[in-house]
Every structure is written in C-alpha cells, then in structure tokens.
C-alpha cells in the first residue's frame, strides 16, 4: 500500500475516534441532569356567558294555545331590546316540532294540541344581562333557563401567557435547587408540553322555578350585581435541564 494512502487512512481513523470520544464525553456530561416542574394559574372574569333557554307552547285561559311562532317572536324581540345581536343567538334544538322534519310536520297537523318547544343559546357579556333577560321572558313559556358555560374572548391568548409563566417557574425551581447543592444550571434538554389543569366553570341546569327564586333574592338585595364565578386557568410543565 502506498505510504500516502496509508497515512490518509490512519488520519481518518484518528478523526473518527476523536469524534466518538467527544460524543461520549458530551453524553456523559449531559447524563447529569435535573428535572423540575413549574405551575402557573390565572383567574379571569368571563365576558362570554352562554345561556340556554327552553321555550314551549302552552294553553292560556280564555285564549287557547299560544303558538311557538308567537313565543319565538316575543323572545327575539326581548333579546333585540337588550341589544343582543342576532349572531349571538342560536337554536340548540326543537322539541315536538321541527320545520325541517316532514314527519313531525305531519304529526302536528294530525294533533294540533301537540305542544312544541324550542331551545335557544344566547351569548351574554355580563351578569346584569341575565336578570334583564329573565324579566322579559314569558313565565309560562319558559321551561328551563340555565348557564351552559362561561368563557373569555381572549381565552387562547391568556392560556398561552399562563403556559409561558409555568415554563419560567420550572426554570426558577431548577435554579434554586442547583444553588442549594452547589451546582450550576445548564441548558434545557427536554421541555414537555404544558398540561392544562381544569377546564373552567359550568353551572348545572336550573329550572324556571329555581330561576324565579334567584330573582326574588336579587330583588331583596336591591339588585346588587356581582361578577360571575371566575374561570381558573392553570398549567403545569416538566423540564429536564443539564447540570454544568
């Protein structure tokens, strides 16, 4: 074998050996790690309150049955009077009659006494609107009124901010732990995806009778309004750091 070729092969073997040693050294160095967790939470007053209202036809003395169409008109008029945009009102379901269902149309024609119903979802901004809407509802037509869920218009932005705070908290925890044992904190090796703890607040269904009782309490306290229960947004994250 030519001496020059032999020298090149030896040089290549030497380079590979040095790379392997460096990689082994790096792996050994990074095997000294510390894993910590961080948490952060924030309480937010909801500005999106989703209320569901079930309305149903009923018999009125000396008048007869109050049709669903009339009940709907009065309900939508009440919402409009409170400044609630049409885009914030949606139909959740029909009961006993659906204009798009031929079978139910046929059934209603055969039995005009069939009581039809409809359920709406209305998005409100504050609790005072709930009381205002209740005052305008037809007591006989309203079967249920309950808060399905609450949220905030900037919920995703707030969640991202809370996640960042959890990451910072994890690093702070790692720093003081290292300081306590005379070590120095290195770079992050593995950052796990932040996990959300809890989902917000959902109020159970309330009947029309319970709603009237709530209104009576509100009137007895001179309609003093309070913010709705706050949404608690909480995240936890785990991070693995190298030790220097």
Sign of CA dihedral 177, 181, 182, 184: negative
- pLDDT tens-digit map of 38-96: 999 999 999 999 999 999 999 888 888 898 999 999 999 999 999 999 999 999 988 77
184 shares a domain with 137: no
Q: How many Å apart are CA 107 and CA 153, to the nearest integer?
A: 43
34 shares a domain with 76: no
Residue 16 lies in a domain: no
Asked if pLDDT for residue 225 goes beyond 60, the answer is no
145 shares a domain with 69: yes
Please say which residue of 151, 177, 210 terminates a domain: 151
68 shares a domain with 54: yes
- pLDDT tens-digit map of 154-207: 999 999 999 999 999 999 999 999 999 999 999 999 999 999 997 443 343 344
- CATH code of residue 165: 3.30.110.170
**E strand residue ranges, the chain:** 33-44, 48-56, 58-60, 64-66, 89-95, 117-124, 142-151, 185-191, 195-197, 231-243
Domain extent, residue 85, equals 48-151
Asked if pLDDT for residue 26 goes beyond 90, the answer is no
Q: What is the pLDDT of residue 161?
A: 98
Residue 21 lies in a domain: no
Q: How many CA atoms lie within 13 A of 145 on its CB side?
A: 21
119 shares a domain with 145: yes
167 shares a domain with 78: no
| Higher per-residue pLDDT: 223 or 140 | 140
160 shares a domain with 145: no
70 shares a domain with 137: yes
- What does the block give as tokens for 20? 């392997």
Residue 91 lies in a domain: yes
Q: What is the pLDDT of residue 31?
A: 79
């Amino acid at each position: 074998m030519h001496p020059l070729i032999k020298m090149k092969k030896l040089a290549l073997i030497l380079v590979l050996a040095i790379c392997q040693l460096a990689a082994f050294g790096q792996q050994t160095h990074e095997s000294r790690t510390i894993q910590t967790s961080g948490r952060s939470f924030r309480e937010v007053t909801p500005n999106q309150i989703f209320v569901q209202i079930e309305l149903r036809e009923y018999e009125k003395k000396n008048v007869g049955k109050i049709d669903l169409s009339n009940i709907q008109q009065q309900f939508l008029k009440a919402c409009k009077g409170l400044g609630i945009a049409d885009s914030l009102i949606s139909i959740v379901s029909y009961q006993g009659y659906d204009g798009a269902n031929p079978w139910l149309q046929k059934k209603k024609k055969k039995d005009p006494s069939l009581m039809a119903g409809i359920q709406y979802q209305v998005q409100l901004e504050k609790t005072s609107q709930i009381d205002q809407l209740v005052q305008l509802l037809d007591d006989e037509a309203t079967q249920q009124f309950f808060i399905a869920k609450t949220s905030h218009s900037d919920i995703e932005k707030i969640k991202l901010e809370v996640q960042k705070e959890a990451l910072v908290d994890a690093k702070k925890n790692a720093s003081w732990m290292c300081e306590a044992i005379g070590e120095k904190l290195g770079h992050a090796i593995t950052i796990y995806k932040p996990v959300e703890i809890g989902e917000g607040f959902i109020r159970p269904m309330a009947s029309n009778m319970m709603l009237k009782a709530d209104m009576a309490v509100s009137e007895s306290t001179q309609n003093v309004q309070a913010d709705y229960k706050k949404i608690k947004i909480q995240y936890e994250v785990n991070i693995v750091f190298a030790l220097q």
